[in-house]
Amino acid sequence: MQWLRQLFTRDKPQIPEPLWQDCLERLPFLDRLDAGERQRLKLLCEDLLARKTFTGAAGFELTDEVAVLIAAQAALPVLNLTLDLYDDMAGIIVYPSAFVIPQSEMDEAGVVHEWHEPASGEAVHAGGAVVLSWEDAQESNAPGYNVVIHEFAHKLDMARGAANGCPPFLAAFHREIVPAGWRQAFSAAYQDFVRRVDALEARLPEDYDDDRPDDAALYDELFGELPLDPYAARHPAEFFAVASEAFFVLPQPLAEDYPEIYRLLALYYRQDPLR
């Protein structure tokens, strides 16, 4: 944290070049950026690190390296927008591994069920923090998976209220997006994706257990055909966040299966990762 501490006392904070190069190497999906874009990304990171508090939780020691890696992935979605979109964010909290979130849901009979669910990340609405598990943030086994981009996409979605999969469109950037067209396209793609996930789930054995190697292999084989992590079927807001991860990290399958979603995300983020 030596360098981060210095950062706040300097007028013009700068990420040391070796640290920045190391960060670029560890995030191969940034390779597509040209030199000018990388430079702008670095400036955005420095701005984000200066504006927001990064905190380690549950004994996690937050190093400069971790802070820069998170900042770079948080800045990528707003590279051609504005960092002001994260104004409504208290800070970034990093746990060493999955943390537990209390959940509650009312069923059809009006009974409220409460339980605890382990989470890899959480974006707290109404000015709250982005909370991340560092173990999950480094996960590279699942193609297209990126918990940092996922949670910051939720933050963009929440800029005017609860996340619903339709972030606010800004006059300065999003004139080409027709909100009704966005809602229609995302709703159709979401429903299609839910149907696909349901159909795949029906092919799993009734006593499916992901701790059994055979079952896990079958799951990977079936769900590996999907362009997005099946978690996207959970809610329209999750569909937007998971599609945003894929858009930046593994865009090809998304563009093939849901070209209209890819096109709209390219208009929204004002980036075209497949260009």
Q: Which residues bind Zn ion (CB under 5 A)?
A: 238, 241
Rg of the chain over Cα atoms, rounded to whole angstroms, equals: 19
Q: Which residue is nearest to Zn ion (CB)?
A: 241
Closer CB to Zn ion, residue 41 or residue 236?
Answer: 236
Q: How far is the CB of 46 from Zn ion (least distance, A)?
A: 27
Burial 168-183 (b: 16+ CB within 10 A, else e): ebeeebbeeeeeeebe
Minimum CB distance to Zn ion smaller for 15 or for 261: 261
Among residues 136 and 238, whose Cβ is nearest to Zn ion?
Answer: 238
For Zn ion, the closer of residues 54 and 145 by Cβ is 145
The burial of 29, by beta-carbon neighbours within 10 Å (0-12 exposed, 13-18 middle, 19 or more buried), is given as middle
Angle at 148 between CA 221 and CA 90, to 5 degrees: 150
- Cα 208 to chain centroid distance, Å, stands at 29
Q: Are 50 and 71 in contact (CB under 8 A)?
A: no
Closer to Zn ion by CB, 49 or 92: give it.
Answer: 92
Between 46 and 238, whose beta carbon lies closer to Zn ion? Answer: 238
Task: Report whether 157 contacts 229 (CB < 8 A).
Answer: no
CA distance 108 to 93: 35
**Bridge pairing between strands 121-123 and 130-133:** antiparallel
CB 261 within 8 Å of CB 189: yes
What one-character-per-residue DSSP string does 154-205 give? HHHHGGGSS--S-PPP-TTT-TT--HHHHHHHHHHHHHHHHHHHHHHHTTS-
| Least separation in angstroms between CB 238 and Zn ion | 5
